[in-house]
Amino acid sequence: MKKGAPAYLTVYLSLTMGVLVTLSLALIQGARQSTLQMEAVCIADIGMDSVMAEYHRELFHQFNLLALDTSYGTETVGRENVRARLKYYLDKNMKGKAAETMGGLSGLVCKDFLGLELEGTELDEIRILTDENGGVFRSMAAESVKDDLGISTVEEVLRWFDTVKQYELDTRDVEAEKRKADEKIEALQEERPGISEEEWETQTVENPTKALEERKKSGILSLVLGDGAALSSKSLNTMGLIGQRLKDGRVNRGNAARKELGTAEKLLEGLLFQEYLLRSFGNYTSVKQETALDYELEYAIVGKSADAENLKGVLARLLAMREAANAVYLHMDKEKHGEADLIALGISLLVAQPELQEPLCEAIILGWAYAESVYDVRMLVNGGKIPLIKNSESWHYDLQMILQDLWGGENGAEQDGERGLCYGDYLRILLLLTNEEVLNLRVMDLVEADIRMTPGNRMFRLDGCYVEINGSIAVGSSYGYSSTISVRKKYE
């Protein structure tokens, strides 16, 4: 062997191999870091998706609302329950945990390249269905029907609402106007002219609407539905429901910020919300089965505990609205107004008191409007339709029938009841006129009460239903890697 041969090739190869080994290890570590980051994000996302997939099935089935019931069928609600479920799903998806379950030569066959471990979870922000005194509930309910509601429906409801506001059908008190006219008639008759007592007796006039006023005393339910009407006897105890708990401050609250809506957006949301209510809840003409109350929309508008009281309240409001609308029409219709004025003139001339003509005419007009309104409301509850402002074709009773006390039955010109607004349409208007926050609370009471009637949901609470979660998930690795991933999920 030749001695003293140079060894430069061996040194060069050693140096090269050192660089290649270092590069290979750096590449492996880089790949590990990238994989760890991607795997952690995927696991966090899947874990949150798994939690959100446990939405309350009965709430969705009955009311088309997606929300996570954090009680999970127990008597307690809150973040800890959600964190426990999230931790369960995250642990299941950690590859290291999966490898631990394999027996035998798992360490050789299934080498854990990542060594991921869950270090902690936290729910930073949550939004609850009852936040903002039901504002979140209202928004989600409106969104659930947004894609199904055509623009033509919205425009039509807006036209109805504009008509109501234009003629003050929601605020005008026709009954008070009628009482004022009657009082003026009585006062004028008490101002006796300068004639003898015997002559005065022959000139006393009876108010032509006296019989109508007597009819009113029988009550709205008797006038509209008849004495033998079968009404629901259900009632609702609201003491343990969400509306009362919100008033008492005994609810869970979220901390996620919500975008403020503009005026136009609020109006649209209100229209969508009342459409949602018409689709999701029953009323007198369309009763839902197995609900806490039969007349649910009537409860949302009136807020009494008993079905019968809520129906009575709604019928009274419909009657007042129809009275105002019919009074508007009678004052605009020259022919009908002329009939009333002619009769008033004849009576005032008969008793030699021309000053009676004006109050008598007004009393006759308003009495006529009331009788027509009773017919209108009766038609509505029986499935017919009544236009907001009538015309000569849709008018029912003539004046002689009112003065002869022949109204209230099936007398009068036959109407097809196919043109105008139905009972549900009038409920839309009343719902829009109801205070937004009050309406939210009453509707949530109904939802909570109805869900509690279903199996396994006796302790159901709307303030335990999460609709949005922003979670922080801390993930570590036996290879020295650690990261915190923030994941936001919400029902849309």
Q: Using one digit for the tens of pLDDT, what is the confidence trace for 161-170?
A: 999 999 999 9
Secondary-structure breakdown of the chain: helix, strand, coil percentages, each rounded to the nearest 5: 60, 10, 35
% of the chain residues with pLDDT over 70? 89
- The average pLDDT across 419-431 equals 94
Q: What is the C-alpha to C-alpha distance for residues 326 and 396, in angstroms, rounded to an integer? A: 11
Lowest pLDDT segment from 351-355, 444-448, 488-492 = 351-355
**Would you call 231 exposed, middle or buried from its count of C-beta atoms within 10 A (0-12, 13-18, 19+)?**
middle
* Cβ 112 vs Cβ 95: under 8 Å: yes
Q: What is the C-alpha to C-alpha distance for residues 3 and 141, in angstroms, rounded to an integer? A: 93
pTM as predicted: 0.86
* Cβ 163 vs Cβ 388: under 8 Å: yes
Lowest pLDDT segment from 233-237, 365-369, 411-415 = 411-415
| pLDDT tens per residue, range 3-46 | 555 555 677 777 788 788 877 777 777 776 777 888 889 999 99
Adjacent-strand bridge partners of 120: 474
The residue count for the chain: 492
* Cβ 60 vs Cβ 70: under 8 Å: no
- Would you state the pLDDT for residue 4? 58
Quick check: helix, strand or coil at residue 32?
helix
- Indicate the pLDDT class of residue 469, thresholds 50, 70 and 90: very high
Q: Is the pLDDT of residue 317 over 60?
A: yes
Q: Which amino acid is at 51?
A: V
Nearest CA to 44 out of 76, 83, 90 is that of 90
Q: What is the C-alpha to C-alpha distance for residues 285 and 322, in angstroms, rounded to an integer? A: 18
Who's near 429: CB < 8 A, 6+ residues apart?
A: 157, 160, 161, 164, 170, 321
Q: Is the pLDDT of residue 412 over 50?
A: no
- Helix (H) / strand (E) containing 484: strand 482-490
Quick check: helix, strand or coil at residue 35?
helix
* Alpha-carbon dihedral angle through residues 37, 41, 44, 48, given to the nearest 10 degrees: 180
% of the chain residues with pLDDT over 90? 63
Encoded tokens for 354:
């021309």
- The average pLDDT across 318-338 equals 96
- Alpha helix ranges (H) inside 254-306: 263-280, 296-302
Q: What is the CB neighbour count within 10 angstroms for residue 6?
A: 7
Return phi, psi of residue 475, to 5°.
-125, 135
- Would you state the pLDDT for residue 413? 45
- The average pLDDT across 346-373 equals 91
- Indicate the pLDDT class of residue 75, thresholds 50, 70 and 90: confident
Cα 129 to chain centroid distance, Å, stands at 13
- Alpha helix ranges (H) inside 101-230: 106-109, 131-146, 151-166, 174-190, 197-201, 210-216, 220-225
| CA distances in angstroms from 478 to 97, 106, 175, 483, listed in the order given | 13, 18, 82, 13
Q: Is the pLDDT of residue 291 over 90?
A: yes
Q: What is the CB neighbour count within 10 angstroms for residue 387?
A: 15
- The average pLDDT across 334-354 equals 90
- The average pLDDT across 332-355 equals 91
Q: What is the C-alpha to C-alpha distance for residues 316 and 310, in angstroms, rounded to an integer? A: 10
- Indicate the pLDDT class of residue 272, thresholds 50, 70 and 90: very high
* Cβ 86 vs Cβ 48: under 8 Å: yes
Q: Is the pLDDT of residue 372 over 80?
A: yes
Give 313 or 20, the one with higher predicted confidence.
Answer: 313
Lowest pLDDT segment from 14-28, 173-187, 294-308, 323-337 = 14-28
- Would you state the pLDDT for residue 60? 97
Lowest pLDDT segment from 168-182, 210-224, 386-400, 456-470 = 210-224
Who's near 69: CB < 8 A, 6+ residues apart?
A: 54, 55, 56, 59, 77, 460, 464, 465
- Helix (H) / strand (E) containing 54: none
Quick check: helix, strand or coil at residue 74?
coil
Compute the mean pLDDT over every residue in the chain, rounded to the nearest whole number: 87
Contacts within 8 Å (CB) and 24+ apart, 84-88: 85/51, 85/54, 86/47, 86/48, 86/51, 86/121, 86/471, 86/473, 87/118, 87/121
Q: What is the C-alpha to C-alpha distance for residues 273 and 426, in angstroms, rounded to an integer? A: 15
Nearest CA to 470 out of 26, 44, 108, 32 is that of 44
Q: Is the pLDDT of residue 403 over 80?
A: yes
Q: What is the C-alpha to C-alpha distance for residues 314 and 325, in angstroms, rounded to an integer? A: 16
Dihedral sign computed on CA atoms, order 212, 214, 215, 221: positive
| CA distances in angstroms from 475 to 18, 31, 176, 297, 469, listed in the order given | 33, 17, 72, 50, 19
Q: Is the pLDDT of residue 444 over 90?
A: yes
- Indicate the pLDDT class of residue 107, thresholds 50, 70 and 90: low
